[in-house]
Amino acid sequence: MISVAIDGPAGAGKSTIARKLAAKIGAIYIDSGSMYRALTYKALCNQVSLDDEDALVSLLKNSQIVLEQNLEGQQIFLDGKNVTEEIRSPVISQHVSAVARHPKVREIMVQLQREYAKENSVVMDGRDIGTVVLPHADVKIFLTASVEERAERRYKELLHKGYQPIISEILSDIKERDRLDIERETSPLKKAEDAIEIDATHLTIDQVVEKVYQLCSKDNH
C-alpha cells in the first residue's frame, strides 16, 4: 500500500495529475476539494449562510457525500444524487474557500478523508493533505504554477464546459482564493516540510505525472 499527498493552490492541475497518477499506480483517487464543493453546493441550494459555521456543520452531519470511481473518473454523489458537474461551476469555485475555512467543518472532513485512506492505496489532493490529513503519507508533493498559467488553464477548462468565462475575473478569483487559503487559521495552504515542490508552469500534465510516478517507484512501498 502507498499513500500520496498532492497539495497546492487552486488551478495548479492537482486533480488531473492525482487522477492520472492513481490510475497508473493502481490506487484510489480522492479529490478532497470535491467534498468541500459538495457541501458548498448544498449550502447554496438550501440558502444556508456560508459564514454560519454551526449551520454548515449541521448540514454536513445530515449529508451523505460519496466518492465513486467509474470509467469516467471520480463521481461525487451528494445524498444519492450525482453532482460531479454541478460542483465544478464558477459559482461554487467562488464560494468554496468560505466554507473550507471553518475549523469544525474541516475537522469532520478530515475524519472522512482519513477513513477513505485507511484501507486503500490512495492519491489524495487538496490544500492540507500532507500537513494535516495524511501527515505520514509515503510521498508528498507541493504542486505550483504561476497565477497567470493557472488562470489560463481554468479559463480553457470552463470554455470547454460551455461557460463564457472572462479571463480577468478568473485571475482575480484565483488570487483571492490563494489569499483565503493561505491566510485561514485552520489548516492553511502551505508546503509540508518533507514535501517535494514541483513547478508545473512550463510542464505538461503527463510530464508532471511521470515525475511523481518516479518518486513513487523510488519510494518502493
Question: Residue 219: its pLDDT value, please?
Answer: 63
Mean pLDDT over the full length of the chain: 93
The CATH code of domain 3-200 reads 3.40.50.300
pLDDT of res. 120: 83
How large is the average pLDDT for residues 29-46?
95
Give mean pLDDT, residues 117-144: 93
Could you give the count of Cα atoms lying within 13 Å of 177 in the half-sphere of its Cβ? 26
Q: Can you tell me the distance from the alpha carbon of 109 to that of 189, in angstroms, rounded to the nearest whole number?
A: 16
Burial classification of residue 151, based on how many CB atoms lie within 10 Å of its CB (0-12 exposed, 13-18 middle, 19 or more buried): buried
pTM value? 0.83
Closest Cα to residue 29, out of 69, 76, 82?
69
User: What length is written for the chain?
Assistant: 221
Q: Residue 124 in contact with residue 3, Cβ under 8 Å?
A: yes
148-172 pLDDT, tens digit per residue, is: 999 999 999 899 989 999 999 999 9
For 58-150, where are the E strands, in sequence order?
65-70, 73-78, 81-82, 122-126, 139-144
CA dist., res. 205 & res. 190, Å (int): 22
pLDDT digits (tens, 9 = 90+) for 56-109: 999 999 999 998 877 777 899 999 999 999 999 999 999 999 999 999 999 999
Q: What is the CA radius of gyration of the chain?
A: 16
Residue-by-residue DSSP string for 180-208: HHHH-SSS-S---TTPEEEE-TTS-HHHH
Q: 167: which 3 cell numbers? A: 479571463
Alpha-carbon span 123 to 152, nearest angstrom: 25
List the 28-31 sheet strands across, edge first: 28-31, 122-126, 3-7, 139-144, 196-199
Q: Is the pLDDT of residue 8 over 70?
A: yes
Instruction: Determine the 3-state secondary structure of 166 from DSSP.
Output: coil
Biggest alpha carbon–alpha carbon distance for the chain = 48
Domain range annotation of the chain: 3-200
Neighbours of 162 (CB within 10 A): 6
Where residue 220 falls among pLDDT bands split at 50, 70, 90?
A: low
